[in-house]
Chains A and B, each alone.
Chain A
Amino acid sequence: MSQIKKTPFTECNEKAGGKMVEFAGYLMPIQYRSINQEHLKVRQSVGAFDLSHMGEFFVRGAGALEFIQSVTTNDASALKMNQVQYSAMCYPHGGIVDDLLVYRLPDEYMLVVNAANLDKDFAWLMEHKPKGVEMINRSDELGLLAIQGPKAEQVIRKIAKFDWDKIGYYEAGRTAFCGKDTLFSRTGYTGEDGFEIYCDPSIAVQLWEQTLEAGKEFDIEPIGLGARDSLRLEMRYMLYGNDIDQTTNPIEAGLGWICKPEKGEFVGRKPIVDMKEGKPPRRMQSLVLKDKAIPRHGYPIFVGDKNVGTVTSGCFSPSLEQGIALGYVAREHGKVGETVDIDVRGKRVQAEVVKGGFYKDGSHK
Chain B
Amino acid sequence: MVVPEGLKYTKEHEWIKVEGNVATVGITDFAQGELGDIVFVELPKVGQTLKQMQAFGTIEAVKAVSEMFAPVSGSVREVNTNLEADSSVINKDPYGAGWMIKIENFPAGEISALLDAATYKKLLED
Contact = CB atoms under 8 A, between A and B. Distances in A.
Contacts of A316: 39, 60, 62
A226 B63 contact: yes
B60 A36 contact: no
B37 A294 contact: no
A292 B40 contact: yes
Interface string A4-25: 0000000000000000000000
Contacts of B39: 292, 294, 316
A36 B62 contact: yes
A95 to B, nearest CB: 29
Contacts of B40: 292
21 contacts: A30-B63, A31-B36, A34-B37, A34-B91, A35-B36, A35-B62, A36-B37, A36-B62, A37-B37, A226-B36, A230-B62, A292-B39, A294-B39, A294-B60, A294-B62, A294-B65, A315-B62, A316-B39, A316-B62, A345-B58, A345-B65
Contacts of A293: 60
A296 interface: yes
Interface in B48-92: 58, 60, 62-63, 65, 91
A226 B65 contact: no
B60 A35 contact: no
A293 B59 CA distance: 11
Interface string A137-176: 0000000000000000000000000000000000000000
Contacts of A36: 37, 62
B88 to A, nearest CB: 8
B29 to A, nearest CB: 15
Contacts of A35: 36-37, 62-63
B124 to A, nearest CB: 16
B109 to A, nearest CB: 33
Interface in A105-163: none
Contacts of B65: 294, 296, 345
A345 B77 CA distance: 27
Interface residues of A, number: 15
A292 B62 CA distance: 13
Interface string B24-38: 000000000000110
Contacts of B60: 293-294, 316
A323 to B, nearest CB: 9
Interface in A208-246: 226, 230
Contacts of A296: 65
A293 B58 CA distance: 11
Nearest to A30: B63
Contacts of B37: 34-37
A316 B35 CA distance: 14
Contacts of B63: 30, 35, 226
B39 to A, nearest CB: 5
Interface in A27-41: 30-31, 34-37
Given A294-B39, A294-B60, 10 more contacts: A34-B36, A35-B62, A226-B62, A226-B63, A292-B39, A292-B40, A293-B60, A316-B62, A345-B58, A345-B65
A308 to B, nearest CB: 23
Identify which of B36, B65, B91 gathers the most chain A CB atoms within 10 Å of its CB: B36
Contacts of B91: 34
Nearest to A294: B60
A34 B58 CA distance: 20
Contacts of A31: 36
A316 B63 CA distance: 10
A51 B58 CA distance: 33
Interface string B74-115: 000000000000000001000000000000000000000000
A244 to B, nearest CB: 22
Interface in A297-315: 315
Nearest to A227: B62
Contacts of A292: 39-40
Interface string A37-49: 1000000000000
Contacts of A294: 39, 60, 62, 65
A253 to B, nearest CB: 25
A37 B37 CA distance: 9
